[in-house]
Amino acid sequence: MLDAIREHSKGWLAKVILAAITIPFALVGIDTYLRDAGSNVPIAKVGSESISVQEYGNSLQKLRNQLQEEGKTDPSVLDNPDVKRSILDRLIATKLINAEANHLRFIISDDQVHQYLLNMPQFQQDGAFSEDLYYRLLSSNRMSASQFENSLRADMLLQQTRQGIVATAYNTKAAAEHALSIEHQQREVSVAEIKTADFLTQVKVDPAEVKAFYDKHQDNFRVPDQVKLEFVLMSASSLIQGIQVTDQEVKQEFEKNASKFQGDEQRQASHILIGFGVSATPETKQAAKKKAQEILAEVKQSPTKFAELAKKYSQDPGSKDKGGDLGAFGRGMMVKPFEDAVYSMQPGQVSDLVESEFGYHIIKLTGITGQAQSFDAVKAQLKGDLLYQKALAKFSEQAENFSNMVYEQSTSLQPVADAFGIQVQTSAWLTRADGAKFFKSDKLMNSVFSDEVLKDRRNTEAVEVSSNNLVAARVVDYKPASPRTFDEVKAGIEDYLKLEKASKLAAEKGEAALAGLKQGKDADHLEWIPPVTVDRKNAQGLTELTMSNVFKIDTSKLPAYTGALNSNKGYQLIKVTKVSSELAEDDSAKKAAAAELKSALAAEYLAAYVESLKAKAKVNINEQLLSAGSLTQ
């Protein structure tokens, strides 16, 4: 079971789909609730309940933002139809479970809602629920307390129902140990290849076969339609030109982040503290200052006696008995007035009085170790960082204006280029696939090949092709799809047919060899690679095809064999000569296996439950709306 579940949950896309049945959607964050009602056009109907375009769009945008923040993937990947459908499936599952919970009369009491609300971190201030913060957040999102609490109640109901199903996932200790044994099982494997290439000289292709193949598959030999585009790119980088950063701003940034540039530099200092306490009156502070000035005069008269004077006068219990020695420290480790003074001094120098929240300090810098980066050394880097920060801020401010202008002045890109100081660029001839690779966006090229853009020669919408990069394009020339001539593709077809025939011969020889091996016959003509020991997590260099077959072989009798066609490369024979299922007495590993098995069972149960609800409910999806690009912006 674990193998099957793992096989179906590889990759981030599968995890997104799995999340549709394992994560209560609205409890992910407060953003789900704090949205305007938006469009009421339904993208799907679940029984009597509707899922609006706005609800779907908000869900997709939330995932887009989350992935962007985590740096997991280019958010344009979310234009993939499978991802769009997984988000809708998630919403449908939520509607189905909520409807069933209401039908079964599950109840979330007012006390439960309020208790959950009191613990929501979004409304916490200084470790406690803030009523003022709560109402301010709701007000800024145009939502009443009753609306929010009803949404919260519905989501808690979903969570309660889900937990009830998940709680039924039970596995025995023996099942967990068996799963762990399978997970850690090792197999000694060897592989032999019967290569297609070795049979190429044995096959011939008749010219009539080549022509017949061409005639039957002409659609496969068409040159796709192509476009030549004008496009504009607005990015944070494109806005840097014209942005100014002064030397003063760079200096302030250096001082503000001095700890980042200290390198391995540390300073060693001693001090004498005359404290006055946080609640000191002006008179008390004045008295402390007078005493500190008297001690400072004594220190300046006899600088070599600093340690003695510290032991005599200092009120810092942590350093007094050590002659005021504070040891070595870097930036950010002392209060700012103290740090500023220390980092402005030279070794052996004694400061004037330095006031901090603790009192008056007399400081002696006793040494400097290591070396900090100088302002001049990092000035260019800091200036570049500040320029980009300003450009990012400007991009955020101007992105909506850019998108609006592209749409409103849709017959040309020159106005938007002039307004934002960017260039109109021209592409080479591009197919839809070429353009998707060039711009790294299927969405943009889908827009390019729409009737409005292709036939009416309008601008595309502004599309976010990657983080902080917006592109708009328009078609300036078009070539319709056209067939390649027989002469153009004849040689390629001939090679393909030869490969097909040779591959068939390799497969026939491989299957014959496999049958012989299973009967115990020798196969001296086979060249086996040296055996390697693998488990489910360590392939030891074996291919994915090999590994997908290694653990499917029945090993009740060894050696055990199987075979697989390796595309047009040939036929692969796989031999297992040894199986080891020894399991160390590791309680933590057993607990982890039990938890993984329980989690997998819970996901299976919940998925089955949702499917059973779907079978009873009437679910209608507006496929046209689901495929519409505007829903993903």
Cβ contact 364:308 at 8 Å: no
Least confident of 117-121, 168-172, 251-255: 168-172
pLDDT grade for 15, boundaries at 50, 70 and 90? very low
pLDDT grade for 287, boundaries at 50, 70 and 90? very high
Look at strands 266-275 and 49-52 and give their pairing. Answer: unpaired
Cβ contact 290:338 at 8 Å: no
Least confident of 24-33, 247-256, 443-452: 24-33
Residue with tokens 């086979």: 526
- Whether residue 214 lies inside any domain: the answer is no
Q: What's the distance, CA 344 to chain centroid?
A: 44
Mean pLDDT, rounded, for 367-377: 74
Q: For residue 623, what are its two tokens?
A: 């496929």
What are the C-alpha distances in Å from 590 to residues 168, 174, 570, 597?
20, 10, 41, 10
Q: Are residues 18 and 96 in the same domain?
A: yes
At residue 358, the pLDDT reads 84
Reported pTM:
0.43
pLDDT for 41 beyond 80: no
Residue with tokens 């101007």: 398
Q: Domain boundary residue among 480, 500, 521?
A: 480
pLDDT for 362 beyond 80: yes
- Whether residue 587 lies inside any domain: the answer is no
At residue 589, the pLDDT reads 62
CATH code assigned at 457:
3.10.50
At residue 369, the pLDDT reads 80
User: Residues of the chain with pLDDT > 90: what percent?
Assistant: 34
Q: Are residues 8 and 96 in the same domain?
A: yes
Mean pLDDT, rounded, for 308-335: 88
Q: Are residues 526 and 572 in the same domain?
A: yes
Containing structural domain, residue 342: 263-372
pLDDT for 7 beyond 60: no
Q: Kindly calculate the radius of gyration of the chain based on its CA atoms and give it in whole angstroms.
A: 36
pLDDT, one tens digit per residue, over 207-217 is 999 999 999 99
Mean pLDDT, rounded, for 603-630: 75
Q: Are residues 37 and 133 in the same domain?
A: yes
Directed axis angle between helix 145-166 and helix 81-103, to 10°? 90
At residue 310, the pLDDT reads 93
Q: Are residues 575 and 612 in the same domain?
A: no
Q: Are residues 570 and 526 in the same domain?
A: yes
Instruction: Count how many domains the chain has.
Output: 4
Q: What's the distance, CA 282 to chain centroid?
A: 56
- Whether residue 38 lies inside any domain: the answer is yes
16-30, 494-508, 542-556 — which one is most confidently predicted on average? 494-508
Q: For residue 255, what are its two tokens?
A: 């001082």
pLDDT, one tens digit per residue, over 440-499 is 888 899 999 999 999 999 999 999 888 888 999 999 999 998 888 999 899 999 999 999
Neighbours of 299 (CB within 10 A): 19
pLDDT grade for 76, boundaries at 50, 70 and 90? low
- Whether residue 604 lies inside any domain: the answer is yes
Least confident of 107-111, 137-141, 439-443: 137-141
Strand partners, 191: 574
Q: Domain boundary residue among 480, 499, 518?
A: 480
Asked if residue 559 has a cis previous peptide bond (ω within 30° of 0), the answer is yes
Q: Are residues 423 and 367 in the same domain?
A: no
Average pLDDT over the chain reads 81
pLDDT grade for 430, boundaries at 50, 70 and 90? very high
pLDDT grade for 9, boundaries at 50, 70 and 90? very low
Mean pLDDT, rounded, for 561-568: 88
Higher pLDDT, 127 or 476: 476
- Whether residue 253 lies inside any domain: the answer is no
The distance in angstroms from the start CA to the end CA of the chain is 39
Least confident of 175-179, 277-281, 327-331, 569-573: 175-179
Q: Are residues 469 and 536 in the same domain?
A: no
